[in-house]
């Protein structure tokens, strides 16, 4: 066996890509190891959405360079979006990197390693997009060596939107979707391996299948028919492509979880126009209202960019107002990071860095106060959770997530295990999670009308 260490940065799509790399290398004798020092092959799966991710990649790569001094046979590869975007810079600034693979070239990894071992070159570069006829259909299969009760499944990649700040069309290419029949075959295979919950992935998943006459809602209906699959999630969505037919899935499909990640990026129509987002705040709020009408318990998360070039205090106040109105359960917020090649990177930016950081702090403080209040309000209610692991902090408890994607810590129950679904009464909520007790452990007479303090006695 040969040791494989994969360092992953970035989004769920990168996590899924890393699992695929592990799977395609397993037949070659590669086994995952816990530390780079134990590895024969180190892969850095990179993200280029923000500059900080690239900096982390560079720092980690230099650490591996030191390992190569003591182990000259160690192979170092860089994959993912930074590999696609910065291939020339990587070869120049990191000459000790042996292998550079773009996201479209992951399946070539076994052949690239063989070429590296036996070919004339001691460096391999593969960053070509598939532009052949029919390239808008993505033919592959999802591969995960040891899927847990919940796993990711990539159903499309790339994006046809060119938001002014986003590098994805240049690093992931144009949209390509997998046929529904292929995805459902993967779902059945994962369920046979014990998977209960699947998160379908795509850079702009709302437009899944548009080049092949299929749709995301058709995929959801088909996947819901798979016996043994208990939960369906998906990410990431573009508000401008969210149609009523998809919203209706939340009315028709109980397996579809009550959670929607719907990035808006700004609460200012002026900024949204400069971002090339092609929707207004009013249109965004209309879709939020429609989703809540068909699924009243739905929880929302979102993405926000603070300090986009030209953002004024008034623009930012409109963003705060939107957050307060929607009441997101969770937010991902970042200071604008100019990405090479995007039009936003060339915009004049006169807002001082300290002002951007102060705005980010205000936004995050508001978001945290909303999350805490929403979670505290769940005390006394009953939630179904999927048990995903033993709690890292307390081995006598399990950790799972409810339908709204909130982590829940709960006391273990004999006869149940990881992968089971459990009814839990919530005892208290905090900023990041909920705590509860299995209904089977409640004392007779405990119900939602009783006090929080009384419930704690039985925990």
Average pLDDT over residues 386-390: 97
CATH architecture of 150-376: Alpha-Beta Horseshoe (3.80)
The structure's pTM equals 0.88
Asked if residue 443 has pLDDT above 80, the reply is no
d(CA 286, CA 306) in angstroms, rounded, equals 23
pLDDT value of position 141: 84
Q: Does 49 have pLDDT greater than 80?
A: no
- Tens of pLDDT, residue by residue over 229-241, are 999 999 999 999 9
pLDDT of 451 above 70: no
Residues ≥6 apart with Cβ < 8 Å to 182? 139, 140, 141
pLDDT in tens, 92-127: 889 999 999 998 888 889 999 998 888 777 789 988
Q: Which CATH number fits domain 382-457: 2.40.10.120, 2.40.50.140, 2.60.40.3670, 1.10.630.10?
A: 2.40.50.140
Query: What's the CA gap between 73 and 3, in Å, rounded?
Result: 12
pLDDT at 456: 30
Superfamily of domain 2-126: Methylthiotransferase, N-terminal domain (3.40.50.12160)
Hey, where are the domains in the chain?
2-126, 150-376, 382-457
Q: How many helices (DSSP H) and strands (DSSP E) are in the chain?
A: 15, 19
Q: Do the domains at 2-126 and 382-457 have one common CATH topology?
A: no
Q: pLDDT above 70 covers what percent of the chain?
A: 95
pLDDT at 458 over 50: no
Q: Provide the mean pLDDT of the chain.
A: 91
Q: What value, to the nearest 5°, has the Cα angle with vertex 224 and ends 156 and 192? A: 85
Q: Which residues contact 75 (CB under 8 A, 6 or more apart)?
A: 40, 41, 42, 98, 99, 113, 116
- The answer to whether 150 touches 198, Cβ cutoff 8 Å, is yes
Say how far apart CA 271 and CA 163 lie, in whole Å: 12
Q: DSSP labels for 68-87? A: HHH-TT-EEEEEEHHHHHSH
For 398-423, what is each residue's pLDDT tens digit? 999 999 999 999 999 999 999 999 99
Residue 453 clears pLDDT 80, i.e. is over it: no
Closest CA to 231 of 369, 362, 420, 23: 420
């Amino acid at each position: 066996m040969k040791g494989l260490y994969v360092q992953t940065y970035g989004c769920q799509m990168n996590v899924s890509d890393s699992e695929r790399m592990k799977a395609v290398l397993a037949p070659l004798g590669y086994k995952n190891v816990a530390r780079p020092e134990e590895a024969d092959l180190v892969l850095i799966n990179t993200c280029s959405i923000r500059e900080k991710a690239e900096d982390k990649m560079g720092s980690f790569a230099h650490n591996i360079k030191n390992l190569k001094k003591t182990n000259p046979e160690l192979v170092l590869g860089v994959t993912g979006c930074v590999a696609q975007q910065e291939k020339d810079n990587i070869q120049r600034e990191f000459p000790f990197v042996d292998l550079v693979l773009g996201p479209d070239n992951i399946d070539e990894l076994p052949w690239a390693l063989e070429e590296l071992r036996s070919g004339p070159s001691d460096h391999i570069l593969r960053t070509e997009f598939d532009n052949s006829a029919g390239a808008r259909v993505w033919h592959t299969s999802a591969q995960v060596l040891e899927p847990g009760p919940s796993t990711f499944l990539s159903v499309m990649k790339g994006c046809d939107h060119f938001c002014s700040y986003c590098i994805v069309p240049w690093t992931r290419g144009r949209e390509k979707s997998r046929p529904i029949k292929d995805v459902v075959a993967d779902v059945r295979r994962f369920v046979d391996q014990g998977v209960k919950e699947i998160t379908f992935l795509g850079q702009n998943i709302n437009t899944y299948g548009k080049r092949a006459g299929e749709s995301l809602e058709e995929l959801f209906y088909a996947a819901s028919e798979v016996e043994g699959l208990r939960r369906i999630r998906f990410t990431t969505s573009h508000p401008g492509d969210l149609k009523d037919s998809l919203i209706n899935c939340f009315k028709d499909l109980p397996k579809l979880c009550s959670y929607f990640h719907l990035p808006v990026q700004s609460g200012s129509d002026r900024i949204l126009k400069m971002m090339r987002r092609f929707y207004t705040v009013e249109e965004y709020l209309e879709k939020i209202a429609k989703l809540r009408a068909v699924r009243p318990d739905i929880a929302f998360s979102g993405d926000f960019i603070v300090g986009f070039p030209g953002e004024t205090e008034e623009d930012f106040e409109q963003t705060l107002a939107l957050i307060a109105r929607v009441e997101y359960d969770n937010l991902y917020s970042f200071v604008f990071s100019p990405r090479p090649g995007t039009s936003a990177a060339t915009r004049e930016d006169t807002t001082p860095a300290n002002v951007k950081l102060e705005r980010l702090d205000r936004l995050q403080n508001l978001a945290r106060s909303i999350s805490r209040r929403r979670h505290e309000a769940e005390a006394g209610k009953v939630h179904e959770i999927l048990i995903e692991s033993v709690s890292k902090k307390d081995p006598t408890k399990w950790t799972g997530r409810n339908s709204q994607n909130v982590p829940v810590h709960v006391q273990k129950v004999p006869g149940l295990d990881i992968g089971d679904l459990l009814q839990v009464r919530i005892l208290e909520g905090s900023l990041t999670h909920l705590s509860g007790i299995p209904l089977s452990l409640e004392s007779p007479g405990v119900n939602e009308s009783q006090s929080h303090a009384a419930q704690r006695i039985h925990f």
